[in-house]
Amino acid sequence: MRTSPVWSPKQYGTYAQERGRPFADLIGRVRADEVRTVVDLGCGPGNLTATLRDLWPEAAIRGIDSSPPMIEAAQRYADDKLTFEIGDLREWTAEPGSLDVIVTNAVLQWIPGQLDLLPGLVRALKPGGWLAIQIPGNGNAPSHSILRDLAATEPYAQYARNASLRAEVPAPDTYVDALSAEGCVVDAWETTYYHLLRGDNAVLEWVKGTGARPVLQSLPDDLRQQFEDEYGARLAEVYRQRDYGTLLPFRRIFAVAHKEA
């Protein structure tokens, strides 16, 4: 039985353009000048982290992720100013006042009590530094409610009960309160993207790379395909494939905090 998912850069890369759009929207609100030090916490396969080189070409950029396969995939983008390393966000620390920008994109939703981490992230910023956060806010969407319901039934429940499912995520105003208390000026918002996905049972292919992966990997081989088939059939009933593709509404929550100089 496996309770810790092994993330797949290949599967995660499915619909990479759609997954990358929130990252670009997040970074677009960071108004940092003369950036010299950047950390991307939860960098995944590194393709989005690499885009930061164009924005801040003089900066030393570090990508950190707890998944060895993701870091291995990210190494293709590494150079003298862009490096990648394995690390756990829950244990990560930096010298106070040492960083210009911290980015954490689509990772805090996996961490219960994520708000407890925010003071340490702000402390790591230089005066005038920036913290950029984006998390999925679609935990009540059919893609996830169907997943939870099915995983709670036998024969799956005995294996999936220890799978890492997303923690309850804060609302935008909660981020404003928490980060303002740390001496930041906060810009928070939410957006629902309507992704048009190509391919058969496209929503299943999407969630196999992210939200459903812990459950799928918790199951033994003889049940995993059975679960995937049943889950996929239920998804296809809700997210209907049409001639032009399958529409996936996806809510995301953003917060950009500017530490007072």
pLDDT per position as a tens digit, 177-186: 999 999 999 9
Structure tokens at 204: 């299943």
Kindly report, residue by residue over 109-120, the tens digit of the pLDDT. 989 899 999 999
Structure confidence at residue 92 (pLDDT):
95
Structure confidence at residue 153 (pLDDT):
95
Helix or strand or coil: residue 247?
strand
Structure confidence at residue 168 (pLDDT):
79
2/63 Cα distance (integer angstroms) = 26
8 Å CB contact between 119 and 148: no
Among candidate residues 45, 63, 76, the one with its CA nearest the CA of residue 103:
63
pLDDT higher than threshold 80 for residue 1 = no
Structure confidence at residue 191 (pLDDT):
97
67/204 Cα distance (integer angstroms) = 22
**Structure confidence at residue 207 as a pLDDT band (50, 70, 90):** very high
Helix or strand or coil: residue 19?
helix
pLDDT higher than threshold 70 for residue 245 = yes
Prior bond to 45 cis, omega within 30? no
In the predicted model, what is the mean pLDDT of residues 181-193? 98
3, part of any domain: no
The CATH number linked to 56 is 3.40.50.150
Beta bridge mates, 131: 102, 257
Strand 246-259: give its sheet, edge to edge: 82-86, 60-65, 37-41, 99-105, 125-136, 246-259, 184-197
Tokens 């995937």 — which residue? 228
Kindly report, residue by residue over 40-96, the tens digit of the pLDDT. 999 999 999 999 999 999 999 999 999 999 999 999 999 999 999 999 999 999 999
4, part of any domain: no
Amino acid letter, 249: P
Q: Going by C-beta distance under 8 Å and a sequence separation of 6 or more, which residues neighbour residue 233?
A: none
Structure confidence at residue 103 (pLDDT):
98
147, part of any domain: yes
Structure confidence at residue 209 (pLDDT):
84
245/224 Cα distance (integer angstroms) = 26
pTM of the full structure: 0.92
Kindly report, residue by residue over 130-167, the tens digit of the pLDDT. 999 999 999 899 999 999 999 999 999 999 987 766 66
The number of distinct structural domains making up the chain is 1
Range of the domain at 170: 9-259
Other CB atoms within a 10 A radius of the CB of residue 169 amount to 18
In the predicted model, what is the mean pLDDT of residues 172-200? 97
Tokens 């499912």 — which residue? 165
Tokens 């006042």 — which residue? 97
Is 248 exposed, middle or buried (CB count within 10 Å of its CB: 0-12, 13-18, 19+)? buried
pLDDT higher than threshold 60 for residue 3 = no
